[in-house]
Structure 1
């Protein structure tokens, strides 16, 4: 496990963050902005559907195998059969050459056994690739409502934070900062002192010391970013972040190519804190409606009562309560 003694999260430790040579919004050697060509939605649809086909075997669905196969998973004609459409029609849908109706997309989603997050992602991709898509509006900074910070500050025995779809931590309470002190002290924070969870995970080798289950954290983080890329396909800042991480981290590239998608997440988080050692925390995320379009996420960490993790979290909370406030009003991106 990376958190124990596995490989470090970045392949180029200490190298400054740069944009991918092929990523949108890149700069020339003279610092001039290149015109943003926008995302290739047809490629996204093709790669996503192909990856979902590859993970299902005919045997799982009771289909005949008809001898050995060159590649794993279902063939296009088998998906078409399960979705009750022609092979040619499905092929054009997968290749992005056909704008499928909602019933057809639903049938394809059922044939590929997509979960709810994957289904929403497929519909987002199809909508973005359609001829009726709206031009993107430029994002603007708005203040996080004071009531959100008050709510976070009231959780004195739980670690809580709000993030945007790009994995920027846009608001947090004092216990979250104390619990994730190595991330806030990392060189990967932006000029406003705001951490980005993805940058920290993939570009700071120290993240493997903080996150005991580093691999699981990496998989979830990339899956959340992919869902956001489907919701907001014209988000230049998100695409630049993806290009930067793809350039600097082989492990990010590998996870991005897997096309995993997550929207909501919950479970167990294991951390190794430099002051209180190991903690096992329960966490759950939920939507926080701060914008009419962008999805913001409130995540709360707490410990099971009566455990050593609860004792350590309380100790950290007591220490954090004596420190100067580090939860100044934060600006987040809105449309």
Structure 2
């Protein structure tokens, strides 16, 4: 990612965060009348961050040389950034200072150690897979293959969850809360783009998705960021019906860029019967004889 592109990302990120805040939400007096900007004015952000308007204007234009952690903290507080957004801003500033590199494929790791596959296979009560930071699915256990049958059914290898969400009509049936999944997928890629500037594989993926999906392009331009950690995900599986599963994303320190994602469900939880039938469905499919 060239430095001028990083500056553009900083500009769009800060202006989009400024635009979402109202004076009331920021604790500033609103004297009425028509405002010429959406959200806060630059002068109001500068006031809240205790910096000059001129300095804030420079920062918003992407000129972040020499900016201190204290200034970033003040700016984050003024714009009411959450932890993920604060980390994203820091990553953008770091990227603006980094030496320019022709290519960077970090985060697009495609190699999975045998021991990781063994860990997945040992998780018989959970659906589990390994993905990289580009949302490529690199390894699965049996239950994950059963749960994600449609997403894994692709001629492109490895399967990519962002492509599935935005380019495969089956995704809207599979994810009952498609809007949130779409938001999280774009936010994850946007976070990775700041963490690994110059990543040619990721840039190619984003260009492909922008070209094929107007919805992806719109969400990408919003500059929202997300960090996929844990929560609940709502599916509709063709074989067993609705499933509300608890997910956890576990980063692998020994393999930077790789994450194990697990889906589990307590035995007494709603949809427990459907989850049991999913496990049975996966076992039955694995036992079916293959054609000679």
* TM-score, length-scaled by structure 2: 0.90
Give the secondary structure class of the aligned counterpart of 2:271.
helix
1:102 aligns with 2:64: no
Match of 2:166 in 1: 202
Q: Could you say which structure has the higher helix fraction?
A: 2
Q: CA RMSD in A?
A: 2.1
Match of 1:264 in 2: 228
Match of 1:45 in 2: 10
- In 2 relative to 1, CA 103–218 (structure 1 residues): closer, same or farther, beyond 3 Å? same
- Write out aligned runs for 1:19-168 (5 A): 40-67=5-32, 68-99=34-65, 100-130=67-97, 132-133=98-99, 135=101, 138-139=104-105, 143-168=111-136
Match of 1:225 in 2: 189
- In 2 relative to 1, CA 155–240 (structure 1 residues): closer, same or farther, beyond 3 Å? same
- In 2 relative to 1, CA 137–161 (structure 1 residues): closer, same or farther, beyond 3 Å? same
1:303 aligns with 2:265: yes
How far off its partner does 1:266 sit?
2.0
- Find the aligned partners of 2:270 and 2:46 in 1 and give their Cα distance: 53
- Find the aligned partners of 1:209 and 1:264 in 2 and give their Cα distance: 21
How far off its partner does 1:276 sit?
0.8
Asked whether the equivalents of residues 39 and 234 of structure 1 are also in contact (C-alpha less than 8 Å), the reply is no
Gaps of 5+ in 2: 288-292
* TM-score, length-scaled by structure 1: 0.79
Asked whether the equivalents of residues 121 and 230 of structure 1 are also in contact (C-alpha less than 8 Å), the reply is yes
- Find the aligned partners of 2:269 and 2:64 in 1 and give their Cα distance: 55
By relative contact order (CA 8 Å, sep 6+), the higher-ranking structure is 1
Give the secondary structure class of the aligned counterpart of 1:298.
strand
Query: How big is each residue's C-alpha offset from its partner over 1:223-253, in whole Å with a ceiling of 9 and x where there is no partner?
Result: 1111000101111010111111111111101
Asked whether the equivalents of residues 38 and 234 of structure 1 are also in contact (C-alpha less than 8 Å), the reply is no
How far off its partner does 1:101 sit?
2.2
Match of 2:290 in 1: none
- In 2 relative to 1, CA 95–39 (structure 1 residues): closer, same or farther, beyond 3 Å? closer
Q: 1:176 aligns with which of 141, 144, 168?
A: 144
- Find the aligned partners of 1:271 and 1:51 in 2 and give their Cα distance: 31
Match of 1:273 in 2: 237
- In 2 relative to 1, CA 200–312 (structure 1 residues): closer, same or farther, beyond 3 Å? same
Asked whether the equivalents of residues 157 and 314 of structure 1 are also in contact (C-alpha less than 8 Å), the reply is no
Q: 1:317 aligns with which of 272, 279, 282?
A: 279
- In 2 relative to 1, CA 136–124 (structure 1 residues): closer, same or farther, beyond 3 Å? farther
How far off its partner does 1:176 sit?
0.6
Give the secondary structure class of the aligned counterpart of 2:267.
coil
- Find the aligned partners of 1:142 and 1:164 in 2 and give their Cα distance: 7
Asked whether the equivalents of residues 165 and 172 of structure 2 are also in contact (C-alpha less than 8 Å), the reply is yes
Give the secondary structure class of the aligned counterpart of 1:321.
helix
Q: 2:253 aligns with which of 272, 279, 289?
A: 289
- Find the aligned partners of 1:102 and 1:296 in 2 and give their Cα distance: 28
- Find the aligned partners of 1:283 and 1:198 in 2 and give their Cα distance: 17
